Amino acid sequence: MADDEKMIDDYEVDQDTVTLTLDNDEEVVCDVLAVFPAPKGEYIAVQRQDDEDAPVWIYRYSENPDDPEDVVLDSIEDEDEFNEVAQAFDDFMYEEDFDELDPEEN
């Protein structure tokens, strides 16, 4: 696990935010940056709200097929998986930024 990765004990998901309860019982409201695919499944990237310099935390993400509002976030403990997912996130964000460019600006 990366040094800035945080273990979560509990969480609550809103459309644009996630409230994490960390393993030290600290509650942190985070903005959802992206839910994105990687070779081993879907993942979510979040960042502490109102702090764009805060590290990005990435977790495994899955939805209950019977209730899409019921999601599961799991910590990534395998370093190889984390590195693969971090690269997938970088690629995803690069593609999103590239897609948002105005063709008239180029």
67: tokens are 């209730």
Residue 52's pLDDT is what? 83
Could you give the strand order of the β-sheet that contains 67-74, starting from the edge strand earlier in sequence? Answer: 8-13, 17-22, 27-38, 41-48, 56-64, 67-74
Residue 21's pLDDT is what? 87
Element (H or E) spanning 102, and its range? none
| 10-residue mean pLDDT series, the chain (106 residues) | 46 70 88 89 92 91 81 90 94 75 50
Residue 88's pLDDT is what? 93
Domain ranges for the chain: 8-105
Residue 1's pLDDT is what? 38
Distance CA 46, CA 18 (A): 8
Q: Spell out the SS3 assignment of the chain.
A: CCCCCCCEEEEEECCCEEEEEECCCCEEEEEEEEEEEECCEEEEEEEECCCCCCCEEEEEEEEECCEEEEEEEECCCCHHHHHHHHHHHHHHHHHHHHHHCCHHHC
79: tokens are 């370093």
Residue 54's pLDDT is what? 92
